[in-house]
Structure 1
Amino acid sequence: MQTALELPQSRNRMVSMLTGCSRPLRLRTRILGVASFSTSSSRHSYKDTIKNLKVGADTRVIFQGFTGRQATANAQESLAWGTQIVGGVTPGREGTHPILRELPVLPTVKAAMEVLKPDATGIYVAAHQAAAAIEEAIEAEVPLIVAVAEHIPVHDMLKIHSMLKSQSKSRLVGANAPGIISAIGRCRIGFQPLPVFSPGHVGIVAKSGTLSYETVASLTRAGVGQSLCIGMGGDMVAGTDFVDALNVFEHDPDTHGIIIVGEVGGQAEEEAAAWIENYRIRTPQPKPIAALVAGKLIKPGYVMGHSGAWAGWGENSAEQKHQILERAGAVMVDHPSQFGEVMQQLLFKPDKSLTLVSGHRHVQLSQTITSDRPLPSGNLHELERAQGPGDVGDFLVSQGILLDDFGPWAESTDGIGAPRKIALAIDRSKRTPHFRICQSTDDNPKVARAKYIPFDFRSGPTASGIAEALEHLDIKQLPSLVATRNLLLSLFYLFKKYEAIILEVRIAVEEKIPDLDPEENFKNDLIIYDPQFVFDPAAFKSGNRHPEIHVPEAKAQGSVPLPEVEVAAKEDGIVYVKLGPSDSSDPEFSSYNIGTLVNGAGLAMNTVDALALAPHHGRAANFLDTGGKATAETVKKSFALLLADPRVKVIFVNIFGGLTLGDMIARGILLAFRELGLEERGMPVVVRIRGTNEAEGQRILADSGLKIFAFDGFDEAAAKCVELARSNS
């Protein structure tokens, strides 16, 4: 059998003719408007903007959406802390801020750049307006753009990243990130809880906001301050990633040690590990690096709070990422509360070895790093093998939407030639869409001989890219080759029109013996089957776009409906995922008996992970993220969700406040006790409140007279949860 490289020259000409014809050009021109942005030199690129991340006391900051309630409150806190905020932008307004009267308000970012000469902008607008605000900042060439909003549609951000690649002036942090903060320079652009920060020499880069706060608090308690903290954010495509931050920390004289806080999804952690290996080889005295990866026990098929918190096809699990970083030379921990002790030893006692015993984890901090890391047993181990978003969770997967766009579909390929797989997905590292072309349907990328063909989001797939895809598929029958080319273009059309995350189909070509009838020889024998389509829910949630595929009636066409409890949670802004076996006859069913209530996706994932590890060996019944804007009513509704699960024997409230306030959480707990009858039910509650307004929250609980077990440390709280769960079972 001929390979793609051995195909006759006439077939190669046919591929060129197919991919260079006018139809795809018309398609791209019709649906795309391409803008370009200035660069100081054709040799410059987006990488040249990494230096803009080094903020400090001299950084001049503006806010977009400046007169809004959230921006005003944040500006007041940041100004009092020492951040040099010089004004802001509100479209259609000019003058001074109604509350911060000494600060000017301008109608456009361009005007603000001319008048105020800012080094950075913080974007405090709603998700559906955020992309336009980022674009305006790019056009005005603001050096640093910080986007904190969550639920910005993924396609909006793909457009932004396409723009960023065409310029060398602006650097983006976010979106869905807590922001960036210099504890030394007292410059905050974001919503980090200021009381936990202290000036020092540890640089932090994190996907999760709440995990980064836990990390900072652990360092501060151990007497270890921070230099620069960068929130990478938990979205699928990030403006700044781990390697970008590591490049800053390497050359920053204020940074003596580095912490990486990762989680499941994407390949940023593996790229960081490769950077660490290279750094340790080329640097005689490398700065010490510690790391954590959350999401070891995620549920396959679910997006765990963050839009990027799921392992795609061929991606490593969180546990595998942990091991990869450890092999690269990072000192790994299982909970952020351990970072303080670890970095204290690495920075201040570098010549002495340290044995850190943390649960099942035995780490020798010396020239040789060793570990004894048994995998969780039973059904917990099953949860580690996530392959990607399934047909439940935050993403909509539909097999009944717009399938006529592709032509005939088959139920199976029994008796047909070797099947292949085609997907149009998002490359998180390159921040672009790509075709994934597989010569088989195996789940292993190497076995499937997968080829990845990225292309620019705005201009679409190139003729050469389409030709490369067709060559790799090695389809010999010209009519089927034409049909495959049309399939690729149809996937792109559907991807753009309905804001897809993944569009995957399987194809097969019926192998035929040449027929004497010419018409039969040129018959299209391409079989297309088993479509798996994933569309971005944020496009509907934030922008009310594509209701035809996101409303319940549309979902019923092909997707498996969410369980009622998860639908109820989503309506209240809560992300709830039930863990453990679904079959009540399973002997492991009742062992998932700790109900968790956490703010922040990263912290919620890590809470589930850390409970399962030794010495606790507990099992969380659920993942529950209250969201960053939780209220007392949200907390009460979260309790109701947990109480609906008969397996739950104890409720663990683990909160680290940023935007979420500790006193508000405490009032929500009291509301739940009063209205849901927790005392009458005899349901014990273990609470750990840290971060913003933690003292007031702890006081409210202490004065309540209720039987609430309150703790400062995670390990003490986790141990109490396991004890109570076992005694109540």
Structure 2
Amino acid sequence: MSYRIPVSTSWPVVSSRDAWRRARTRPRRSRSSESPEPGRKRGSRFSRNTALTTVTEASRCTTRPAAPSRKCRSRTSMSILLTGDTRFIIQGITGREAINLTRENLDYGAKIVGGVTPGRAGRDVYGVPVYDCVRDAVAANGGSIEGSIVSVPPRFTQDAIIEALENDIKLIVVVTENVPRRQVAVAVELAKLRGARIIGPNCLGIISPDECKMGGVGGPAANTRQAYKKGHIGVMSRSGGMTTEIASTLTAAGLGQSTCISIGGDAIVGTTYAELMPFFEADKETHAIAIYSEPGGRMEAELAEWVKQQESRLPIIAFMAGRFMDEMKGMRFGHAGTIVEGKEDTTAEKIKRMEESGILVAERIEEIPNLIRQGLARKKR
């Protein structure tokens, strides 16, 4: 069935104090008593494509968020989505995980201009001022902030994302995991209406090596600098840890990275491989793409179709994990998104589709650097 989401052309501005209090007072239901949405069987697929089926024509966005202009890359063009000049906040900054993120990002040179936790205004975390709401943080920084890391409990995540959108923040990295699917789907569609982009949930964020990172990707700054080096290979991964594994493998082989993105391991994520490809295509300093993928979902099929239709200039090398799951039905792989619901979700079918589109599939992670060099040689012919 369709879900009607009220969306108006003028969004009411609410503080995080109001939004999170509203979420906190909602009655909590046990997992066993929770019933699925009307007309939908328990356990059936909920697609983000079904989240917003009815919106007012006045508020409908007719264009997808465009790839960034080269003029906005003030420090260097060797990155997408963020640069060394990107200013962002952390929502939920006084939480334990967010405190660690703050230290790691600051040590790497990130420009964290504020944090938000309702009722904690006036404090600071490693010198970063804390505000009651996103509106106050934005106002204190000249009325404009480019990004936000959302690190709040799952039941508050949707409200935190909406608050960031209401304050015209265009890049939102959601590190929280176990966010309800329907809430993610709704948040993603609302972000499209606002011309914003969500990375995650359940991700480690983005890094442009030697410039900036936004999230927990790479861990402490010293480890991050060891694994990631500036270069010309874009990396996309459903696993945060494997983002660093691939980058480290590339670095050891003398191949630096332009931008590395942990897109998230949940069944529904804000931005897929295919949706990120136009950004990499527009960045002339990105020469090839390395991808880490897992069973479950349709993102690989979507990517393969995009490559066929667009005739990508970039050689793409993919590593598909979890091949054993085709033989061991019902085996759990790890991430929430690795749910095999049909033949299209299996590793064998994903590999077949990617290879048919021209994507090179590595048998082992260690093969990726050589396959990248082979792909680059083919493109030059």
TM-score category by the smaller chain?
0.7 to 0.9
Give the 3-state SS of the residue equivalent to 1:48 in structure 2.
coil
Give yes or no for contact 2:154–2:176 (8 Å, CA) kept in 1: yes
Residue in structure 1 matched with residue 110 of structure 2 by the alignment: 83
Separation in structure 1 between the aligned mates of residue 129 and residue 195 of structure 2, nearest angstrom: 24
Max Rg structure: 1
1:174-212 deviation line (CA, Å, top 9, x unaligned): 001111111152233334331311111111111122222
Separation in structure 1 between the aligned mates of residue 231 and residue 62 of structure 2, nearest angstrom: 32
Give the 3-state SS of the residue equivalent to 2:323 in structure 1.
coil
Of the candidates 258, 263, 266, which is equivalent to residue 235 of structure 1?
266
Separation in structure 2 between the aligned mates of residue 330 and residue 184 of structure 1, nearest angstrom: 28
Residue in structure 1 matched with residue 347 of structure 2 by the alignment: 318
How many residue pairs get matched? 317
Of the candidates 291, 314, 329, which is equivalent to residue 260 of structure 1?
291
Give yes or no for contact 1:94–1:106 (8 Å, CA) kept in 2: yes
CA drift of 1:93 comes to: 2.2
CA distance change for structure 1 residues 104 and 57 in 2, over 3 Å: closer, same or farther? same
CA distance change for structure 1 residues 138 and 46 in 2, over 3 Å: closer, same or farther? farther
Separation in structure 1 between the aligned mates of residue 61 and residue 162 of structure 2, nearest angstrom: 20
Of the candidates 166, 170, 175, which is equivalent to residue 196 of structure 2?
170
Of the candidates 215, 220, 231, which is equivalent to residue 189 of structure 1?
215
Task: Verify: 1:343 aligned to 2:338, yes or no.
Answer: no
CA distance change for structure 1 residues 242 and 33 in 2, over 3 Å: closer, same or farther? closer
What is the one-letter code of the residue matched to 2:196?
S
Residue in structure 2 matched with residue 700 of structure 1 by the alignment: none
Task: Verify: 1:134 aligned to 2:161, yes or no.
Answer: yes
CA distance change for structure 1 residues 253 and 96 in 2, over 3 Å: closer, same or farther? farther
Unaligned runs of 5+ in 1: 1-23, 352-364, 368-729
Within a 5 Å distance, the mapping from 1:178-327 to structure 2 comes to 178-193=204-219, 194=224, 195-280=226-311, 286-298=313-325, 299-327=328-356
Give the 3-state SS of the residue equivalent to 2:244 in structure 1.
helix
Residue in structure 2 matched with residue 109 of structure 1 by the alignment: 134
Separation in structure 1 between the aligned mates of residue 320 and residue 304 of structure 2, nearest angstrom: 12
CA drift of 1:110 comes to: 1.9
Give the 3-state SS of the residue equivalent to 1:87 in structure 2.
strand
Separation in structure 1 between the aligned mates of residue 281 and residue 247 of structure 2, nearest angstrom: 19
* Greater relative contact order structure (CA < 8 Å, 6+ sep): 2
Separation in structure 1 between the aligned mates of residue 320 and residue 63 of structure 2, nearest angstrom: 27
Within a 5 Å distance, the mapping from 1:338-377 to structure 2 comes to 338-347=367-376, 350=377
1:604-633 deviation line (CA, Å, top 9, x unaligned): xxxxxxxxxxxxxxxxxxxxxxxxxxxxxx
Within a 5 Å distance, the mapping from 1:607-618 to structure 2 comes to none
So what's the TM-score if we normalise by structure 2? 0.75
Of the candidates 83, 100, 108, which is equivalent to residue 73 of structure 1?
100
Separation in structure 2 between the aligned mates of residue 238 and residue 36 of structure 1, nearest angstrom: 24
Separation in structure 1 between the aligned mates of residue 335 and residue 323 of structure 2, nearest angstrom: 15
Percent sequence identity is 32
CA drift of 1:261 comes to: 1.8
Give yes or no for contact 2:65–2:196 (8 Å, CA) kept in 1: no
Give the 3-state SS of the residue equivalent to 1:82 in structure 2.
coil
Separation in structure 1 between the aligned mates of residue 97 and residue 146 of structure 2, nearest angstrom: 21
What is the one-letter code of the residue matched to 2:318?
A
Separation in structure 2 between the aligned mates of residue 254 and residue 61 of structure 1, nearest angstrom: 24
CA drift of 1:35 comes to: 4.3
Task: Verify: 1:144 aligned to 2:144, yes or no.
Answer: no
Separation in structure 1 between the aligned mates of residue 9 and residue 329 of structure 2, nearest angstrom: 41
CA drift of 1:240 comes to: 0.3
Give the 3-state SS of the residue equivalent to 1:246 in structure 2.
helix
What is the one-letter code of the residue matched to 1:187?
K
Task: Verify: 1:34 aligned to 2:60, yes or no.
Answer: no
Within a 5 Å distance, the mapping from 1:584-623 to structure 2 comes to none
Give the 3-state SS of the residue equivalent to 2:64 in structure 1.
helix
CA drift of 1:225 comes to: 0.7
Give yes or no for contact 1:63–1:88 (8 Å, CA) kept in 2: yes
CA drift of 1:46 comes to: 6.7
Within a 5 Å distance, the mapping from 1:467-616 to structure 2 comes to none
Give the 3-state SS of the residue equivalent to 1:223 in structure 2.
coil
CA distance change for structure 1 residues 155 and 43 in 2, over 3 Å: closer, same or farther? closer
Give the 3-state SS of the residue equivalent to 1:312 in structure 2.
coil
Separation in structure 2 between the aligned mates of residue 319 and residue 184 of structure 1, nearest angstrom: 37
CA drift of 1:269 comes to: 0.4
Unaligned runs of 5+ in 2: 12-57, 70-79
CA distance change for structure 1 residues 125 and 42 in 2, over 3 Å: closer, same or farther? closer
CA drift of 1:155 comes to: 2.5
CA drift of 1:303 comes to: 4.2
Give yes or no for contact 2:318–2:359 (8 Å, CA) kept in 1: yes
Separation in structure 2 between the aligned mates of residue 37 and residue 292 of structure 1, nearest angstrom: 43
So what's the TM-score if we normalise by structure 1? 0.41
Give yes or no for contact 1:122–1:146 (8 Å, CA) kept in 2: yes
What's the Cα RMSD here?
2.8
CA drift of 1:233 comes to: 1.1
Give the 3-state SS of the residue equivalent to 1:190 in structure 2.
coil
Give the 3-state SS of the residue equivalent to 2:126 in structure 1.
coil
CA drift of 1:321 comes to: 0.9
Separation in structure 2 between the aligned mates of residue 75 and residue 46 of structure 1, nearest angstrom: 34
Give yes or no for contact 1:46–1:171 (8 Å, CA) kept in 2: no
CA distance change for structure 1 residues 80 and 328 in 2, over 3 Å: closer, same or farther? same
